[in-house]
Structure 1
Amino acid sequence: MPQTWSKILRLSAQSMAMTDESWKRHANPLSVYSRIPILALMTLAILSRHWLGWGALVPLALVLLWTWWNPRAFSVPTSTRNWASRGTFGERVLLNHTEIPVPAHHMAWAKALGTLAGLGLMPWIYGLWQFDLGFILFGLALSMGAKLWFVDRMVWLYQDMRSASEEYAGWEY
């Protein structure tokens, strides 16, 4: 299981093609907060197939493009002493867990909340397929709630780990 978790984290990071510069930009709270509604926007894009038919691929492509571009869209923040920036730092620490080990309780929470967010996608997808607003909203609440809780746990992880490396300590200014 640990290798599977590491592979999932690595694939996730690779799919976003994050560089040091994009991570610095993603630490901007505008980047973090503008990512929160992405799943809701994707919901609207997918539901638009009812009205737009194949034309729904346009808003869907725009949401996917925004998902990829978002960490690069904003400038490096003037200060990183805030919840949103620390959440991105925690994600970086988590992704680096093979180089600098992360305490087991943080890994357990990350896995549990990642799993919960993933489980929320099941009723969400079913609701989108069936045009069932109840399932859509339940899935959105579960997935987005777990993701926000995950970010909050990443803040905690960063605060616990910032002294583990000079690089980590240098992220906050």
Structure 2
Amino acid sequence: MRLDKAIERSMMMSDATWARHANPWSFWTRVPILALLSLAIWSRVWIGWWCLAPLGLLVLWTIINPRAYPPPVRLDNWASKAVLGERYWLARKTSPIPAHHAKAAMALSSLSGLSIIPLAYGLWALDPWASFAGAMLASMFKLWFCDRMAWLAADMADQRGR
């Protein structure tokens, strides 16, 4: 099973959930989650095991977030297009997408994933520079991936004549 499909299944993303997740509020309130998770893990230095409380709340918010907002009235904004493009990306085995989007998305996903290495090291070793660099790189590549997904959504809509 592909990792992206496994993540989608673990988040229990139905069609209705995806529609709600396309709300720009859902998108933009997810952007700081990695930085906040990093801060929650780092907080073990200050609050010890109590760091599990903010960590648990952030994990819960990550699961609730795609369901927390109503479906958007319009889908013509960047954040909604990024979510729509991600659906195309996840369905690429059954509904092929243009090769140039697939290659770029795979590269950006890989770079985002690799950025977790310095982040994890920084959080383990309490190295602020590694933590910051890893979190910022992972976030940058994820947002770049989202931009690519917005482009993919626009291209797929053009292909389908919408």
User: Residue 114 of structure 2 corresponds to which residue in structure 1?
Assistant: 119
Q: Which moved more, 1:120-129 or 1:97-106?
A: 97-106
- Please give the TM-score of this superposition, normalised by the length of structure 2: 0.95
Aligned ranges 1:82-121 → 2 under 5 Å: 82-121=77-116
**What SS does structure 1 have at the residue aligned with 2:115?**
helix
Name segments (4+ residues, structure 1) moved above 6 Å.
none
Count of aligned pairs: 162
User: Residue 31 of structure 2 corresponds to which residue in structure 1?
Assistant: 36
Distance 1:162 1:79 in 2: 15
Gaps of 5+ in 1: 1-5
User: Residue 3 of structure 1 corresponds to which residue in structure 2?
Assistant: none
Aligned ranges 1:1-173 → 2 under 5 Å: 7-164=2-159, 169=162
Q: Which moved more, 1:157-166 or 1:30-39?
A: 157-166
Q: Deviations over 1:29-79 (max 9, x none)?
A: 011011100001101110111122111111111111111111101111111
Distance 1:164 1:27 in 2: 21
Distance 2:6 2:18 in 1: 16
Same amino acid, percent of matched pairs:
46
Distance 1:130 1:39 in 2: 18
Distance 2:64 2:77 in 1: 22
1:163 CA displacement: 4.4
CA RMSD of aligned residues (A): 1.4
| Residues 164, 98 of structure 1: alpha-carbon distance in 2 compared, 3 angstrom cutoff | farther
Counterpart code for 1:136: S
Distance 1:163 1:21 in 2: 24
**What SS does structure 1 have at the residue aligned with 2:74?**
coil
- Please give the TM-score of this superposition, normalised by the length of structure 1: 0.89
Q: Deviations over 1:89-147 (max 9, x none)?
A: 00000111112101111111111000100111000011101111100111011100000
